[in-house]
Amino acid sequence: MSKNILVVGGTGYLGSKVINHLLSRGAKVSALVREGSDSKELETKGVQIIRGDLSKPETLLPALKNMDAVISTAIGYSNRKKGDNLKNVDDLGNRNLVDAVKQANTPRFVFTSVLNVHQAESVPHFWQKKMIEDYMDKKGVPYVALRPGAFLDQTPKNDFYAGGLKKGNLKVMGTTTIKWTCILSDDVARYLAIAAMDNTIPLGRMDIGMTEPMNVEMLAKYASEYSGKPIKASALPWAIIGSVFSFIGLFKPEMADLKKMFDYMFTGKYVADTTLQQKHFGDVPSVKDSVFRYCEQIGLSKATT
């Protein structure tokens, strides 16, 4: 019998990919969508739309009725709407959802966390994920928290790499040599969908990444191999860029948060242990294969061999 899965965040970048994977695996998918948010694309795919909001606890319990699992990719720190922020959505909103899952006795809650959040108390949006993981433990909710590294592919608006790779001149912030764990968002989406549908995926927290950490030199090298064209990689000094982030951060807390995130990533500690990922989801994607897929995704012209 097909499973009933509720997705919170389904109108977003990652959530929409999660929905595609759920549908391709035969799930009956519902999406909790805020009033005023565009649900047309999801409706076209056959997703049942349930109007609700993490900040409105009264909308959550009815949405969970008869659900076999709920997946949340939702965040407030991407500031999609006025009033979205870490406190309202990622903290209070997520707690509301955890409380509702507990009350509804939903058998599985799949939460999108972030790699190594337990090490990163200095990074507000990372630490908030850890707080929610701990809250789920405290409440005794049956959860799987997948903890992906940095997405290799960000939303087209925030993509760090596509423009530079296409020009053959990749300029990044801070460093081309320090490595950290990356992963394609589509792989994360697939794992989230499987974690909701397959009860053999164990409850608890799990790192998600590629087979090894990556740096910008590796990205440029593999992208160059893919395109058959040279790609130069260089870094703008973090001392300067970081100070600009800190200054803007005085007025925009998200910028201060991002500065702290990069400070943490540049320690070289943002590295996944993919043992559990390998055991439960099969072969872990390699850096080369992921970069090739990313190049295809951004439309980098491929070498003709």
Binding site for ligand NAP (CB under 6 A): 8-9, 11-15, 32, 34, 37, 53-55, 73-76, 78, 80-81, 84, 89, 93, 112, 114, 148, 150-151, 154
Nearest residue (CB) to ligand NAP, 80 versus 293: 80
Closer residue to ligand NAP in complex, CB, 67/224: 67
- Compute the Cα dihedral for 88, 90, 95, 98 and give only its sign: positive
Q: How far is the CB of 73 from ligand NAP (least distance, A)?
A: 5
Computed from CA positions of residues 94, 30, 187, 53, in that sequence, does the dihedral angle turn out positive or negative?
negative
* CB nearer ligand NAP, residue 89 or residue 300: 89
Closer residue to ligand NAP in complex, CB, 18/224: 18
In the complex, minimum distance from the CB of residue 114 to ligand NAP, in angstroms, rounded to a whole number: 4
Contact 72, 108 (CB under 8 A): no
Plot region of 298 (φ>0 → left; ψ -120 to 50 → alpha; else → beta): alpha
Nearest distance, CB of residue 302 and ligand NAP, angstroms: 25
| H or E element, residue 105 | none
Shortest approach of ligand NAP to residue 11 CB, angstroms? 3
Bridge partners (DSSP) listed for residue 109: 70, 143
Nearest-10 Cα torsion for 245, 246, 247, 249: 80
DSSP conformation letters of 128-177: HHHHHHHHHHHHT--EEEEEE-EESS--GGG-SSHHHHHHTEEEEES-SS
Q: Which is nearer to ligand NAP, 106 or 112 (CB)?
A: 112
- Which are the contacts of 18, defined by CB distance < 8 A and separation ≥ 6? 7, 9, 10, 71, 73, 189, 192, 193
How far separated are the first and last CA of the chain, in Å rounded? Answer: 47
- Output the smallest distance, CB 298 to ligand NAP, in A: 16
Q: Which is nearer to ligand NAP, 8 or 197 (CB)?
A: 8
**Least Å distance between CB 146 and ligand NAP?**
9
Nearer to ligand NAP, 146 or 223 (CB): 146
**Burial class of residue 95, CB neighbours in 10 A (0-12, 13-18, 19+):** middle
> Which of 144, 143, 139 lies closest to 102, judged by CA?
139
Minimum separation from the CB atom of position 26 to ligand NAP (A): 23
